[in-house]
Amino acid sequence: MPLFWLLATGFWIPFFLKGGLMDIFDYMNSGDYEQLLFSVDKSTGLKTIICIHDTTLGPALGGVRMWSYAREEDAIVDVLRLGRAMTYKSSAAGLDLGGGKAVLIGNPLKDKSEALFKSLGKAVDSLGGRYIATDDVGTAMKDLEQIRTTTQFVLGLPLHLGGSGDSTMPTAHGVVRGMQACAKEVFGKTDLKGKVVAVQGVGKVGSNVVRLLHEAGAKIIVTDINKAYVQAIVKETGAAAVDPDAILTTKCDIFSPCALGAILNSKNIARLRCQIVCGAANNQLEAENNGEEIQKRDILYCPDYIANAGGVINLALELTGYDADVSYEKIEHIFDTATAVIARSKKQKIPTSRAADLIAEERVAASRKLKPWFSGHSEH
């Protein structure tokens, strides 16, 4: 059965944002979005939404998130937020890539099939290279291999297929470099030895963050809704474990959110007992003013898309020829980017979240004067 395409260029979708009914075009206009693609395939069960936020700097790169959303409106909100964050991440990292995201509605534990991901690949391919897919929460490299059978616009493939392999360790490495930049500001040195770090979420990236922290001599506290993940990383590293509900109030030097987003809101920020927040999760702030609330508590926040850019830096090299040494050399500069964000925050007396946004927005704005949207048909 052919795919049915529903493109957001001439219709109105009522959905809920911040508790109120909103015209989707108003939201997209306010956030400078370019495109939103809805795709369904009854024969495979495909229900996916692809967001292209901005292609000023290049094709929109972003992961495919597979999740059992309670409401379709939640999926729309998620893909819009995540797509915009990818623009900021790539821009701040100095990459010639735009931002996008895909959400695949379904249970990643029981709804996956080869046909489903091939169908998703057709949806990606219909965009002609304006969006490039990679893995995210709920998807893995083997899923990307199936997507690759129906589109060339995929990054994060195994090394034997010309890809960069697993990007979770590069992502984790960048997070730790962000922590070190914050530690230098707060504690006067980059050394994390003896520092207490509470890691929320020990999945693909979070577990590697724990491993690197363990090598650095940090004292680690972990939690996850998946008890098996916790047991495995505790056995491997000797980390202490707490219940998921307790991690936010755990006394520590650094709180590292490495699970899902929107964990930092007005209520939870008031409960934090740390001096630094730096983690791998995307969209950690539930609302824009949360950055200011963190700052008022004298907690140094390393914006998520600054700290977790290691993965996208690693993936971007596939477009020009992957080299692991070059990748890690570039990821090291996350320390410099985080330091620049902190310096701008102090100079302008603004939250670090806003300082990071300004750095990303200024680069996009400068490029927008020189070239239009990326038109597609990228070769890689």
**Pairing of β 300-301 and β 14-17:** unpaired
Is the separation of the CB atoms in 98 and 57 below 8 Å?
yes
Position 258: which residue type? C
Given strand 254-257, what is the order of strands in its sheet?
A: 240-241, 219-223, 196-200, 254-257, 276-277, 300-301
CA distances to 50, 69, 311, 334 from 75, rounded to whole Å, are 10, 6, 23, 30
Active site residues: 101
Cβ-contact 197, 206 below 8 angstroms: no
Please state, in angstroms and rounded to a whole number, the distance separating the CA atoms of residues 226 and 243. 11
The single-letter code of the amino acid at 216 is A
Task: Show the tokens assigned to 223.
Answer: 């939690």
What are the CA-CA distances from residue 175 to residues 182, 299, 319 (Å)? 11, 17, 23
Report yes or no: 82 and 155 within 8 Å, Cβ to Cβ. Answer: no
Q: Which residues contact 148 (CB under 8 A, 6 or more apart)?
A: 121, 154, 157, 161
Say how far apart CA 65 and CA 48 lie, in whole Å. 10
Q: In what order do the strands lie in the sheet with 98-105?
A: 4-7, 35-41, 46-54, 98-105, 60-67, 131-135
Q: Specify the DSSP element, H or E, that contains 200.
A: strand 196-200
Yes or no: say if 164 and 133 are a contact pair by the CB < 8 Å rule. no
Burial group, residue 292, by CB count within 10 angstroms (0-12, 13-18, 19+): middle
Residue with tokens 């934090």: 272
Q: Where are the alpha helices (DSSP H) in 280-351?
A: 290-296, 304-307, 310-316, 324-331, 334-348
